[in-house]
Amino acid sequence: MDTLYLDNAATTPLHPRALAAMMPFLEGKFHNPNSIYGPARAVRQAIDEARAVVASAVGARADEIFFTGSGTEADNWALNGTLTASPEKRHIVTSSVEHHGVLYTCRALEKRGYDVTYLPVDSDGLVNPDDLREALRPDTALVSVIMANNEVGTIQPLTALSEITRRNGTPFHTDAIQAVGHIPVDVNELGVDMLALSAHKFGGPNGVGALYIRKGTPVFPLIYGGAQERGRRAGTENAAGIVGMAEALSLTIGEMPHEQPRVTVLRDQLIAQITKKIPHVKINGHPTKRLPGNVNISFRFIEGESLLLHLDMQGCCASTGSACSSGALEPSHVLTAMGLPHGLANGAIRFSLGCGNTDADIGRLMAMLVPSVERLRAMSPLYDDFLRKGEK
């Protein structure tokens, strides 16, 4: 049974050309790039070239890109490093629909005495710039708003938000981990001071990410040690990972002009098929300001995990919201912030399409989904109650 992989927002398969680019650094070119001899200088040069590729992919300068061990580390660094650099400032503004990498960092900072304002979102998951304007205080150290949400795919109006912070010089960070490689990202158009990205979301390897830090933004290190990354992120560089990330990013940016519209069409086909063939569903997230591959749907009267298990038994990989919270009992904080009642939030499934998916996959999924939803509804007491009320 061929696996039907529809969980590209959790992680993507490693691109064969990224793997090929990595191999020399896993085999012969093992040398520490911080050493002085010739073979080490070759590794250093490969890292520098990769930095230039990643920088140009997001419209930054090479000396504004710092490699990290993950996107989550980049988020942690942006928040903690900014606060450490401005100890007199005690307030953070973020959204109520952040990935856990930012959300749980903020919760930890609250325990350390910081004030955090969580901006509300509308029913599509969008932050209102007026709410940001009202939330800013003289002691606001930074604003962090996710560029594109990992669960529902909603793309935030970052340019409008960063215009507000720019006026009083408050640093603006964005978690762009779901966006980079999928939609155009330019740090100057967005007006952001920091931006986190992660290689394994666009065909690169796990275990490597990057933080963009605009020149002049005060950010202290998160990790101390050697002088790697110009003294701002210690730890011997993951040369293979960094080279693999740059290769994958370069490929995905090159393919974006045709892949972005192609995947968007697939997404809209899937949404149209589900809403046509399955009654009592709700599409979560914005209809158009949405990541090309994201489909998040609540199936009324059934619980998300039971549907995922059914799909799993038929070889389909999908997710309930965030991959990180599978196994959690709490309904998604993102769907709850968007005002979904618990019943609908518990029945939400995320299908995330990627470059490996075709329209044949949509047909395969529908052939599994329709009978699975019917079977689970047939055993649902909530569906019984609904039918009885309907008859009255």
Residues that bind another protein (CB under 8 A): 301-303, 305-306, 309-310, 313, 326-329, 331, 341-343, 346, 378-382, 384
- Alpha carbon distances (Å) from 78 to 191, 204, 219, 292: 16, 22, 7, 27
User: CA torsion sign, 31 to 34 to 40 to 44?
Assistant: positive
- CB of 318 vs another protein, minimal distance in Å: 15
- CB of 326 vs another protein, minimal distance in Å: 7
Burial of 377 (0-12, 13-18, 19+ CB in 10 A): buried
- CB of 340 vs another protein, minimal distance in Å: 11
Instruction: Supply the DSSP string of 255-304, one letter for each residue.
Output: HHHHHHHHHHHHHHHHHHHHHHHSSSEEE-S-SSSB-TTEEEEEETTS-H
- CB of 274 vs another protein, minimal distance in Å: 20
- CB of 137 vs another protein, minimal distance in Å: 35
User: Judged by CB, which is closer to another protein: 127, or 340?
Assistant: 340
> Which alpha helices (DSSP H) does the chain contain, by range?
16-26, 38-57, 71-85, 100-111, 129-135, 158-168, 187-190, 228-231, 239-277, 304-313, 333-337, 342-346, 359-378, 381-391
User: Judged by CB, which is closer to another protein: 264, or 306?
Assistant: 306
User: Judged by CB, which is closer to another protein: 329, or 360?
Assistant: 329
Amino acid letter at 360? A
Q: Which of 139, 128, 71 is nearest to 96 (CA)?
A: 128
Indicate which residue of 106, 316, 317, 324 is catalytic.
Answer: 324
User: Judged by CB, which is closer to another protein: 59, or 343?
Assistant: 343
User: Judged by CB, which is closer to another protein: 32, or 306?
Assistant: 306
User: Judged by CB, which is closer to another protein: 112, or 389?
Assistant: 389
Tokens of 76: 């942690």
Q: Which of 342, 336, 349, 345 is nearest to 278 (CA)?
A: 349
- CB of 380 vs another protein, minimal distance in Å: 5
Q: Please tell me whether residue 154 adopts helix, strand or coil conformation.
A: strand
Q: Which of 217, 182, 177, 178 is nearest to 197 (CA)?
A: 177
Q: Which of 259, 280, 283 is nearest to 270 (CA)?
A: 283
User: Judged by CB, which is closer to another protein: 90, or 375?
Assistant: 375
User: Judged by CB, which is closer to another protein: 131, or 303?
Assistant: 303
Helix or strand run (H / E) with residue 143 = strand 140-144
Beta 65-68 vs 209-213: how paired, if at all? antiparallel
The CA dihedral of 230, 232, 238, 243, to the nearest 10 degrees, is -60
324 labelled catalytic:
yes
- CB of 151 vs another protein, minimal distance in Å: 17
- CB of 335 vs another protein, minimal distance in Å: 13
Beta 194-198 vs 172-175: how paired, if at all? parallel
Distance CA 64, CA 49 (A): 14
Q: Which of 179, 162, 144 is nearest to 58 (CA)?
A: 179
Kindly list the catalytic residues.
324
